[in-house]
Each structure stands twice: as structure tokens, then as C-alpha cells.
Chain A
Amino acid sequence: MVYLHLTSPKWLVVSRCIAAFIMGFIFINSLGVTVVLLLPGSHLEAIGWVSVFAFLGYSLLVMWCFHERSLGKVWGMLTVGILASCASSYGLLAMEKLI
């Protein structure tokens, strides 16, 4: 990492890491709740499948965060994603009268 900061604006990488790992983590959680509620069939089975593949989704999301050229777009997309999935899972929970 020492080599890294010698040649690059360190904070850009830090910001990207925070977006990928922390914002990404929040997004996967909120998206996960939405997908569980959307999946047909048994609720428990849906929890099982979403949990099993949560890390795959998280990994792919992290990879995307490091691929997308614009850091602003990374933060923007993640923020929109979190807000949208929180809203939709809230709506779905309200429809099923769980909240």
C-alpha cells in the first residue's frame, strides 16, 4: 500500500473502497430484503437462497465499483440503489402487514 500512495491520489482510492465495501454492504442488505419479499414460494426458502448468494452479489458489486470510471457515478448509483431498495422493501413489508 505504501507504493500505492506514492503514485496515486490516495483519497480517491479510499473513497472508492468506502463506497464499494460499506455502501455496497448496505445496498446488498437492503436489496436482499427486497428480493426475499419478492421471491415467490416459501419465505424461509427465499431467505436461504438470498443469504447463500448475498456474498456473490456483494463480490460482483465490489468489482463493478472498481471498474466504473466515474467515482461520482459509483457513489450516486449506490445511493440511489440503497434508497430505492429501502423504499421498495418498506412498501412490500407494509403490503404484507409486517411493519
Chain B
Amino acid sequence: MSVTKASGVSSTFRQSMTWVHTWFGLTFCWIMYFMFVTGTLGYFDTEIDQWMQPELPVRHDVSLADNIAIGEQYLRSNVQGAESWYITPVQDRHPYLSVFWTWPKPEPGEERRKNGFVQLDAKTGEVLDTELRATGGGQTLYRMHYLLHYIDGEIAYKLIGIITLLMFIGVMTGIVIHRAIFVDLFTFRPDKKGRAWLDLHNVASVTSLPFQLMISYSGLIFMVTTFFPLIAIGSFGFDANSAREELPKLFGESEEVRAEQSAPLTSLHQLVDTLSLTANDIASVGVHFPGAANAHVDISLHGSVNHRIGEQLTYDGVSGEFIGSEKRINYQSILFSGTMLGLHEGLFAGPFLRWLYFIAGVFGCVMMATGAIYWVQKRQQRIKKAGYPNVGLTLVTNLNIGTITGLLSAVGAYFWANRLLPLGLDDRANWEVHVMFLTWAVCLIHPFVRRHKRQAWIEQCGGVALVYLLLPVVNALTTNAHLGRSLPSGNWVLAGVDLLSLVTGGLAVAAIVVLRRRANASAQARWSSTPSLDTHSTSAESQSS
């Protein structure tokens, strides 16, 4: 790379954007890969929750009104004086009946009480013992994609914001680089030396381009209030007080206060029973100021991309009278950003669309991985000609091996830990995460001590294969939620995790076969030509067969 190119200055826009794409991408590709892996799994967060707590009963056969009745009963007898209650019934993707409540704003000097959350058995009304097998579940895994772990949440969130910005710029510059996007769709040249990884990178990115644009930009929209609060405050003449007064209106937050007078709350389950709704139509049943004279019930409905900007039915909390069906948001810009956020989370997606989300996410992982591998491969050929080892190249290769395959093993280890850690272990949920990151640490160190990088790739693929092919076996040995039961009973949530694990393991085996074949081919080539070239076989991708 010439000096001018390396300092980001080139004659054409396309060249300079190639520089940006390459270096922004390379610097953060491993964290982006981590975000893609954990975020993609997040599209199946509640399914993973169920797999990780197979003891908890899932009651899909309880009616909506009975669900609400159970939640209501718990809240009435256990939670008094709350600001609001929320009941979420058992739904297709919400496996447990849960209640959530918030407390009023504290008086000056008082400490704010922590909001409450309890999961209930929708049939018996018992509080589910989620500590029986304490686990982080799919939620912890999903939260990592925007909060990382072990780092203060606020700092991590900002860091993720910056990386998301670079990701979005990466996608934009990627579009600039590829003049012929349509052609890239059909270009795969596995035999052409040095092009296979680039082609794979292009195919993965281009086919999922709308998703990649959406996911990175909507990710940024989550960050707007964190990064650009000054635009809003500044436009009020930097008067933070009037900004604080005005801005909540944008998000449809009311400034209602609880009435002094108290009044008995209307029966929630009877109210819900009068509606022709099923549990899947409802995002939640909320009660504001329960027990006060101005209490009201808000039934927020699914059916739009983001239920938080969708419709809600409001009822008087005392008389149970219908007040109205209202849009919560009256600003086009907030509807737009709310739609983007809804698209990002994909909570509205049914099974088919959810799988599309998952596949697009996997393409994102492939995009990051192949991009990083291609970076190494492209430079390797040049450096081989120069004939000396390159520190940077070796470092990137090692990080590639330790992250691309290592992170997969680590996530698998997280699932193993869920089954194998003793149930009585203190801080068990955290230990699952520790096991995940310890495994990743081992996988990151491993390539640094292996001289032959192709061998390191093969060994790590072996690790991935082992972890994922054996996971269903471990599951069968430790629980009753194994394939032998989940398949015959048609429990696709539990079976899905095991099956996907087998598929992942199978792909790792396929990768080993390909790598071995290439290793043999290049060994033969070496015998017939100069033997001195392989002193630094920096990666498995160095030669195509």
C-alpha cells in the first residue's frame, strides 16, 4: 500500500472508500463479529431461554383471560402502591406468564425502588422457581450484542455505538466499492486463486445488503439520544429544563399524576374476556395508578412492526368503560424511528420471517469473517514475495482463528455450562458466562502458540465440531428435554436448538474436510516445486486448491 493510499488519500472516491472500508472494517471486525453472533442468536432469545430452563412449565393451553386472571391475582395481593403494572400472557414466543411493575418516582432524598418482575405458572399461579437452574438464558446472550459483558453498561453502550457507526460506514463504503452489485450476486470463483474469499464476502454482503443497511442504521437510531442530545437541548437555547419538559411529548409520555382519591380497580380478566382477542394479539396489559381513582388500563396491541408505537386500547380503570383506541405517537419522525427500531428487534416477525432474520444475521457473521480472512489472504501473497514474516499479518491471522472459530466454541460452551454446572452453584448464571469467556480466551491463545496456522484452523474447527455435535448428547444425559423426547412430542423450540447445534457441528466437520484437502494439495505442490515457501503458512486460506 502506497503512502498516499495508506493515509486515506487517493485520487478516486472509490479508492479512498476502499481504504476506509478495509481499515475501519479490520480494526473492529472481531467485535462486530461478536455483535453479529450474539445479536443473531438474540432473534431466538426466548427459544434459548426455554432450552436453558427446560424444567419450567410452558402453558400454551391456558386461555388469555385465565392468564390475565393469574397475573392480576398476584399483583393485587403482592404489589400495592405501584405506579403501574404490566401483565404479559403466555404467547407463541413469550413462553411464561410474567408480571412487571414500576414504583412511583421517589420523594427527594429517598432511593428509587427497583422495578419488579416475576414469572408465574399460568395454570397454578405459583411463582416459577427460576433459580432452580439459575441461568443467563438467551437474554444474557442477546444483551451482549449491545452491552458486551464485564464492562460498565454505559461505557459499553457508547463503545458499541461508535462501532455501529463504523459498521454503517463500512456498509456504505462497501456499496461504493462494488460498482456492479448485481454481478457480484452471481460471482463465485472458488478456483480462481485469491478470489474465492472475496467472492464469498461479496455474495454474503450483497444478498443481505438491505438487512445490513437496516440493522446498522437502526442500531444507530437506538443511540441517538445517547450521542446527539445536544441537538435537541441546543434548539431550546441550551435550556435543559424546558427541553426536559418538552421532549417527553415527542415520545407520547404523559405527565399524568396519581389521584389522591383511591378507588377499587376493575376486574382485568373480565375486561379482557369481553374482547375478542387472543394472547398473541396482545403485547401487554398495563394498568396505570392501580387502586387510584384515575386508574386506567392500557391494552397494547401487536400487529405493527413495533408495538411501542402501535395502537392501544384504553379503559377506565375503575368503571372499566372504554375510553378510546389511541395512537401513542403523533410525530412522523418518531413513527419512522420507531419503525426502524421495530425492524431491528424483529419482535413482530412470525416463524418464517424470524428464520429470514436469523439467516440474514448469519450472513452478517459470514460477511465479517470472510472480510477478515480476505484481508489476510490478500496481503499474504504480497508478503510471501517479500520473503519475511509480518507481525501485523500474524496477529490478524491469530485473532481471526481465535475469534471466528473460537467464539463459536465459546457460545457452545455457554450452552454446555448450562447443562453441566452444578445446580446449587453460587452465582451460577454468571458462571455460565465465565465459562463462555474462559473458553474464548483459550481459543484466542491457542493460535498464538501454533506455528502452522492451517493446523490451528483445523484444530479449532475440530473444537467447534466437538462442542456442537456433542451438545445434544450432553443435553440427553442431563435432562429430559432431549431430541428423543422433543422430536416425538413436536416441541420444535427445544428440538430446534439441538438440531441447529448439530448443523453447526456438521458445518465445522465440512470445513475440516476442505482444509485437509487443501493442506494435502499444497503439500503435493510443494514437493514438486520449491519447498522453502511454507516457512510461514499464515493461514489456511493461503492457497486455493
Contact = CB atoms under 8 A, between A and B. Distances in A.
A28 B231 CA distance: 9
Contact of B7 (A12, A33, A48, A93): A12
Contact of B232 (A7, A42, A51, A71): A51
Contacts of B390: 3
Given A44-B250, A59-B172, A32 B17 contact: no
Given A44-B250, A45-B331, A89-B234, A58 B224 contact: no
A46 B13 CA distance: 32
B223 interface: yes
B21 to A, nearest CB: 10
A62 B8 CA distance: 12
Nearest to A93: B237
Nearest to A32: B231
A47 B232 contact: yes
A9 B9 CA distance: 12
A63 B173 contact: yes
A58 B220 CA distance: 11
B8 A16 contact: yes
Majority secondary structure of chain A interface residues (helix, strand, loop or mixed): helix
In this complex, the interface size class of chain B, counting residues with CB under 8 Å from chain A, is 35 or more
Given A63-B173, A69-B9, A55 B221 contact: yes
Given A3-B392, A36-B235, A89-B234, A48 B337 contact: yes
B6 A43 contact: no
Q: Which DSSP category, helix, strand, loop or mixed, fits chain B's interface?
A: helix
Given A33-B231, A99-B237, A63 B250 contact: no
B238 A67 contact: no
Contact of B20 (A12, A63, A71, A89): A63
Contact of B224 (A54, A66, A99): A54
Given A1-B27, A58-B165, A44 B237 contact: no
Contact of A51 (B19, B231, B246, B249): B231
A48 B331 contact: yes
B439 interface: no
Interface in A28-81: 28-30, 32-33, 36-37, 42-52, 54-56, 58-60, 62-63, 66-69, 71
**In the complex, which range does the number of interface residues on chain A fall in?**
35 or more
Given A51-B231, A52-B333, A66 B247 contact: no
A67 B20 CA distance: 9
Given A49-B333, A52-B221, A63 B17 contact: yes
Nearest to A54: B228
A31 to B, nearest CB: 9
B171 to A, nearest CB: 9
A44 B27 contact: no
A51 B236 contact: no
B510 interface: no
Contacts of A55: 165, 168, 217, 220-221, 223-224, 227-228
B379 interface: yes
A4 B375 CA distance: 13
A13 interface: yes
Contacts of A12: 7
B17 A45 contact: no
Interface string B1-26: 10100111111010011011001001
Report which residue of A7, A45, A52 has the largest number of chain B beta carbons within 10 angstroms of its beta carbon.
Answer: A52
Contacts of A66: 8, 16-17, 19-20
Contacts of B277: none
A52 B224 contact: yes
A41 B243 CA distance: 18
B17 A16 contact: no
Given A51-B231, A63-B172, 15 more contacts: A1-B23, A7-B6, A8-B1, A8-B3, A30-B234, A32-B231, A33-B231, A47-B250, A48-B332, A48-B333, A49-B332, A55-B221, A55-B223, A59-B172, A93-B235
Interface of B: 1, 3, 6-11, 13, 16-17, 19-20, 23, 26-27, 165, 168-169, 172-173, 217, 220-221, 223-225, 227-228, 230-232, 234-239, 246-247, 249-250, 331-334, 336-337, 340, 379, 390-393, 395-396
17 contacts: A1-B23, A2-B395, A3-B396, A16-B8, A32-B230, A36-B234, A43-B246, A44-B249, A47-B232, A49-B333, A52-B224, A54-B231, A55-B221, A55-B228, A62-B169, A63-B173, A99-B238
